[in-house]
Chain A
Amino acid sequence: MKIVELSVWDLGLAAALVLALAVATMLGRFGVGRSLIVAAARMTIQLSLIGLVLRVLFDHPELLWVGLMSLVMLLVAAREVVSRQNRRLRGWWSFWIGAGSMFLSSFVLAIFALAVVVQSDPWYDPRYAIPILGMLLGNTMNAIALSLDRLTESAWDQREVIEQRLMLGQDRREAMTRIVRGAVRGAFIPVINAMAVAGIVSLPGMMTGQILAGNSPTDAVKYQILIFFLIAAGGGFGMLLAVWLGRGRLFDSRERLRLDRLRESRD
C-alpha cells in the first residue's frame, strides 16, 4: 500500500495553525505564546533530526549504536524529569533518581518486550527497539516527573504534619503514608485514563501512525495493546521506585525530615 506523501507546504499549513494560536494567546496575555512557539520549533527540529538519525541507525543495526542512542534518550529524559520539578533535590539526586528508576523499569521492560514478546531478530533491531523504548521512556518520564514533584511539594507543604507524626513515634514510612499515596495516585491517573478510553475516545498515537502508514488495523491494535501494557507496567514500576528513593532522600539516618535537601521553589 502506498502512503500519501506530505509536502513541506502541508506541514507549513499545519504550522500556521500553531502560529495563529500563539498570536491569540499573546493578545490575551496568557504568557504562554513564547513557550508555545519555542516548543513547536524544538519539536520540528528534533523530529527532523531524529528522522535522519534513525535512517542511519536502520542502515547500521549494531548493538553499540542502538545502545548509544538509548543512553542519550535516557539522559535527556532524566534531565527533563529534573527540569519539571518545582523543588528538586539538591545536588544531582533528582537526576540520578530519575535516570536510575527509568533505566531499571524502561530498559528492563523494553528488553523483555523485544526478546520475549516481539522476538525481533536480532532482538535489538532498531526498527522495533527504538520506538518501543521511546514509548516506554516517554511515559515513565511523565509518571516519574509528576510523582516526584508531587512528593516534594507535598512534603514541603505538610512539613508540620509529618513532623507531628514523627513526634508521636511514627517512622518515616507511616509519617509519609498520605503524601506517598497522593504522589503515586496522581501519577497513575494519566495512564489509567488513557487505557480506559483507548479506542473509544482516542486512537493512540502509535496505532494511528501504523494505520496511516498502511498497516492493517488489527496488527496495529495488537501492537498498541502491547504498548499499553508495557507503559502501564514500566511507568508504574519506575514511578514506585522513584517515589521510594525520593522519600528516602527526604529523611536522614535518624529519620529526621530533611527539607534542607530540597532547592528553593522556582515560583
Chain B
Amino acid sequence: MPEGLSLTGLSFLDWEPVSFEIGESECVGITGASGSGKTLLLRAIADLDVNHGEVRLGDVGRDSVSAPFWRSMVGMLPAESKWWEERVGAHFGKENASTRERLEAFGFGYDVMDWEVRRLSVGERQRLGLVRLLGLEPRALLLDEPTANLDVRNTGIVEEIVEAYRKRKGAAVLWVSHNEEQLGRVARRVLVMDGKELKAVA
C-alpha cells in the first residue's frame, strides 16, 4: 500500500482518537449528522487545526515534511471554495490539458479564466474549486460535501471526475457527505461520525 492514507490515533478537541486506513486508489465515505465533526476530521488530517496523532501518506509521515507541502499532498476541498483574486484565472497555474478537460466536462470553456469571481454562482464556485484543486495534482483527496450545491447532472460529473482522478493517480479519497446514497455509489466503505466517535457502518 505505497500511496494509501493512514491515520493512527488522530485526535482533535474532545473527539475519540481516530485510526483507519485508506488504500491506494480507494475511496472511503464519511457520513454523520451536521455538527458531528466530519469537517473537523478533514481539517485535522490537513493539519489546519491543532491535533495529535500520526498521519502518513504512503511512506511520508506528516511531521517529516513542511505543513504547506503536506497540505499540497492531501488536497482538501472545503464545502465552500474561496476565491481571493478578481478573476478566476489568477487562481490557476499554467494552462494544462487535464484542467481544460475537466472544465469541458463541466461545460465551461477555457474563457472561464477571464470571468469575474464575484459573478460566479455558488455551484460554479464549487465546480471550479474542484478543478482548481485537481490541477495541483494532490496525491490524496479530502472532499467536504463536494456536491452540496449542485444539481443531479453536475453531481454525476463530479463523481466521474473524482473517480477518473482516483484511478489515474492512485489517489486515496476521503469523501464526506450527508447523502448516504451518494456514498454508496462512490465509496467502497462508509464510516459514520456519531457521538464524537468514528464508527464503521453496521
Query: Hey, which bits of chain A sit against chain B, CB under 8 A?
Result: 158, 160-161, 163-171, 178, 252, 254-257
Q: Give the chain A neighbours of B132 by CB distance below 8 A.
A: 168
CA distance A160 to B82 in the complex (A): 7
CA distance A254 to B66 in the complex (A): 7
On whether A170 and B48 interact (CB within 8 A), knowing A160-B80, A178-B84, the answer reads no
Q: What residue in chain B is nearest A165 (Cβ atoms)? A: B84
Q: Check: B81 CB closer than 8 A to any chain A CB.
A: yes
**B49-90: which have CB < 8 Å to A?**
49-50, 66-69, 71-72, 75-78, 80-84
Q: Check: B21 CB closer than 8 A to any chain A CB.
A: no
CA distance A171 to B77 in the complex (A): 17
- In the complex, which of the residues A160, A167, A257 contacts B46, with contact meaning CB atoms closer than 8 Å? A167
Q: Say whether A167 contacts B84, CB under 8 Å.
A: no
Q: Say whether A255 contacts B68, CB under 8 Å.
A: yes
How near does chain A come to B118, taking the closest CB pair, in angstroms? 14
- In the complex, which of the residues A169, A178, A252, A257 contacts B71, with contact meaning CB atoms closer than 8 Å? A169
Q: Say whether A167 contacts B76, CB under 8 Å.
A: yes
Q: Say whether B49 contacts A167, CB under 8 Å.
A: no
On whether A164 and B68 interact (CB within 8 A), knowing A254-B47, A256-B47, A256-B48, the answer reads no
Q: Say whether B82 contacts A161, CB under 8 Å.
A: yes
Q: What residue in chain A is nearest B142 (Cβ atoms)? A: A167
Q: Give the chain A neighbours of B69 by CB distance below 8 A.
A: 169
Q: Say whether A168 contacts B133, CB under 8 Å.
A: yes
How near does chain A come to B23, taking the closest CB pair, in angstroms? 23
- We find that the number of chain B residues with CB closer than 8 angstroms to chain A is 23
On whether A164 and B71 interact (CB within 8 A), knowing A256-B47, A256-B49, the answer reads no
Q: What residue in chain A is nearest B135 (Cβ atoms)? A: A168
Q: Check: B136 CB closer than 8 A to any chain A CB.
A: yes
Most buried by B among A164, A168, A252, A255: A168
Q: Say whether B50 contacts A171, CB under 8 Å.
A: no
CA distance A221 to B80 in the complex (A): 57
Q: Say whether B78 contacts A167, CB under 8 Å.
A: yes
Q: What residue in chain A is nearest B73 (Cβ atoms)? A: A169
CA distance A132 to B180 in the complex (A): 70
Q: Give the chain B neighbours of A256 by CB distance below 8 A.
A: 47-50, 67
Top 9 nearest A-B pairs (CB, nearest first) are: A169-B72, A164-B82, A255-B67, A254-B67, A171-B68, A167-B76, A161-B82, A161-B84, A169-B71
Q: Say whether A163 contacts B48, CB under 8 Å.
A: yes
**B115-144: which have CB < 8 Å to A?**
132-133, 136
CA distance A223 to B75 in the complex (A): 58
Q: What residue in chain B is nearest A254 (Cβ atoms)? A: B67
Q: Give the chain A neighbours of B48 by CB distance below 8 A.
A: 163, 166-167, 256-257
Q: Say whether B71 contacts A168, CB under 8 Å.
A: yes
How near does chain A come to B40, taking the closest CB pair, in angstroms? 13
Q: Give the chain B neighbours of A161 by CB distance below 8 A.
A: 82-84
How near does chain B come to A126, taking the closest CB pair, in angstroms? 50
Q: Give the chain B neighbours of A255 by CB distance below 8 A.
A: 66-68
Q: Say whether A169 contacts B84, CB under 8 Å.
A: no
How near does chain B come to A223, taking the closest CB pair, in angstroms? 45
Sample of 6 further A-B pairs with CB below 8 A, known A167-B48, A167-B75, A168-B72: A161-B82, A163-B82, A164-B82, A168-B132, A170-B68, A256-B49
Most buried by B among A164, A166, A256, A257: A164
CA distance A167 to B91 in the complex (A): 13
How near does chain A come to B18, taking the closest CB pair, in angstroms? 18
Give 27 pairs: A residue, B residue, CB < 8 Å, sorted on A: A160-B80, A161-B82, A161-B83, A161-B84, A163-B48, A163-B82, A164-B78, A164-B81, A164-B84, A166-B48, A166-B67, A167-B48, A167-B75, A168-B72, A168-B132, A168-B136, A169-B69, A170-B68, A171-B67, A171-B68, A255-B66, A255-B67, A255-B68, A256-B48, A256-B49, A256-B50, A256-B67
